[in-house]
Amino acid sequence: MDRGTLKTRKIKGQRYVSQVEYDRVFGGYDEVYTQESVDANKKEITSEPDVKLPDTNDLLKERNLDPDEWEVTHVKVNEWDSPGGIKLKQLTVSARRKLQLVLPFAQEPSKYKAPAKAQLDKKGAELVVFAGDQQAPHHDLDLHRLFCDWLRVNKPARGILMGDTVDFGGISRHALNPEWDSTVQEGVNAGYLLLRDYVQASTNTRWTKLMGNHDERIRQQLLLYVRDLYGLRAADIPGEEQESPVWCVSNLLRLPSLDIEFLAPSGGYNHAQAKLSNHLAARHGWIARKGSGASALGTLEALGYSVVVGHTHRQSLVHKTTHDIDGTLSTLAAVETGCLCKIQDGLGYTIAPDWQNGFATASIWPDGTFKLDLATYVNGVLYWRDHRYS
């Protein structure tokens, strides 16, 4: 056959484009045939049959492909005996263009600093509990048990007794209600025992008691009917501290023996205040408006600073933002703590009262800032933050 005749020949799966190419391989010609391209990013390169195989990088370079831009993905070696008895070898290499990433230009990267990560306050906050309106002996016994469980678990640093620890219904300005009213002694006995339970449940808690309008009923009776006995105390001993008045709530409830601080108001109960920080105080409360939150907001507006109050037997947490003359913002908060007394039948005072059982807490940091929470008792279960007590 004439070498110039174009005819395709196949030898062991290798394709040659012409008889000329066939003769070049087996007739000693040293020209090489062209590679077969799949697309711009993939190449399959077959070496010239020889007794010695070339290096894959050399084969890429031979086809003007930069090994830094192309990566070898597959290698195949064929071997066969030529008509002249020489064992020929052929190398087939599949290559793929390397992925070239175009990175965005960053201007002056050396000046960039990653933002600082938020850090937890390592000093920690002090937990304070606000509990009041027990109205002993009409306190809710199951809630009392759960509150003592809460004290044992959480062990607050401070506890504020918000007032109305004792009901003193028998000496109120209201008409006698035999089904509900108790004697003064019964109230005093029950009030002492529940406070003793608090102290024993969390021995390291520092307790402070505020006066409430129910606690003050003894004072009112003395001033109305036996004013000369108001403030009467045991005989003063020179050089020793004066004892508390005989009919003072502090003396009747044995607060000194329980190591409970008593804040004696200068005047009526509504003047007593426990300062927790430069940003938060606690009072029994003297405003009673309809609806949860209304009394708390009214007290906050009257005082001009954040406050925790009891008195209403309702629970709420309200906020108010103020703006000073320079536009600086301040966010104030006020809480109604709820009550620890029985709600059903309204203690004989009211029908179907809008009251809520529970108490309040505050996490107070060393700089005086704080976070307020409510603990609510519903259907035998006490809820506080993400915990339940039953």
Other beta carbons within 10 angstroms of residue 163's beta carbon come to 29
Looking at the structure, tell me whether residues 221 and 130 fall in a common domain: yes
Q: Of 325, 324, 307, which Cα lies nearest the Cα of 316? A: 307
Q: Is residue 8 part of a domain?
A: no
Domain that holds residue 232: 126-389
Looking at the structure, tell me whether residues 300 and 351 fall in a common domain: yes
Q: Is residue 375 part of a domain?
A: yes
Looking at the structure, tell me whether residues 194 and 83 fall in a common domain: no
Looking at the structure, tell me whether residues 43 and 148 fall in a common domain: no
Into how many domains does the chain fold? 2
**pTM (global) more than 0.75:** no
Q: Is residue 164 part of a domain?
A: yes
Looking at the structure, tell me whether residues 87 and 130 fall in a common domain: no
Q: How far apart are CA 355 and CA 313, in angstroms?
A: 5
pLDDT the model gives residue 327: 87
CATH value at residue 271: 3.60.21.10
Looking at the structure, tell me whether residues 192 and 131 fall in a common domain: yes
Banded model confidence at residue 6, pLDDT cuts 50, 70, 90: very low
Q: Find the mean pLDDT for residues 175-191.
A: 83
Q: Is residue 345 part of a domain?
A: yes
Q: Is residue 369 part of a domain?
A: yes
CB 321 within 8 A of CB 347: no
In the three-class reduction of DSSP (H, G, I as helix; E, B as strand; rest coil), residue 254 is classed as: coil
Distances (CA, A) of 363 to 82, 120, 156, 333: 92, 14, 10, 13
Q: Of 202, 79, 144, 185, which Cα lies nearest the Cα of 357? A: 144
Looking at the structure, tell me whether residues 85 and 181 fall in a common domain: no
Q: Where are the beta strands (DSSP E) in the chain?
A: 9-11, 14-16, 36-39, 42-46, 70-81, 87-97, 126-131, 158-161, 206-209, 260-262, 274-277, 280-283, 306-309, 315-323, 329-337, 357-364, 370-378, 381-384, 387-389
Lowest mean pLDDT among 44-53, 156-165, 305-314, 377-386: 44-53
pLDDT tens readout for residues 137-166: 999 999 999 999 999 999 999 999 999 999
281's CB contacts (< 8 A; 6+ apart) are 273, 274, 275, 303, 305, 306, 307, 308
Looking at the structure, tell me whether residues 249 and 320 fall in a common domain: yes
Length of the chain equals 390
- HSE toward the beta carbon, residue 99, CA cutoff 13 A: 2
Looking at the structure, tell me whether residues 288 and 160 fall in a common domain: yes
pLDDT tens readout for residues 294-330: 999 999 999 999 999 999 999 999 999 989 888 899 8
CB 336 within 8 A of CB 364: no
Phi first, then psi: give them for residue 241, nearest 5 degrees.
Answer: -70, 140
In the three-class reduction of DSSP (H, G, I as helix; E, B as strand; rest coil), residue 351 is classed as: coil
Looking at the structure, tell me whether residues 139 and 39 fall in a common domain: no
CB 204 within 8 A of CB 214: no
Q: Is residue 314 part of a domain?
A: yes
Q: How are beta strands 381-384 and 387-389 bridged, if at all?
A: antiparallel
> Can you spell out the DSSP letters for 89-115?
EEEEEEEEEPP---PPP-SSGGG--PP
Lowest mean pLDDT among 40-49, 288-297, 324-333: 40-49
Degrees, nearest 5: CA angle 42-46-47: 140
Partners of 81 in beta bridges: 87
Looking at the structure, tell me whether residues 65 and 192 fall in a common domain: no
Lowest mean pLDDT among 23-32, 128-137, 266-275: 23-32
**H helix intervals, 29-78:** 56-62
**H helix intervals, 155-277:** 184-201, 217-225, 249-252
Looking at the structure, tell me whether residues 86 and 135 fall in a common domain: no
pLDDT the model gives residue 149: 97
Distances (CA, A) of 130 to 26, 159, 240, 288, 314: 103, 6, 33, 18, 13
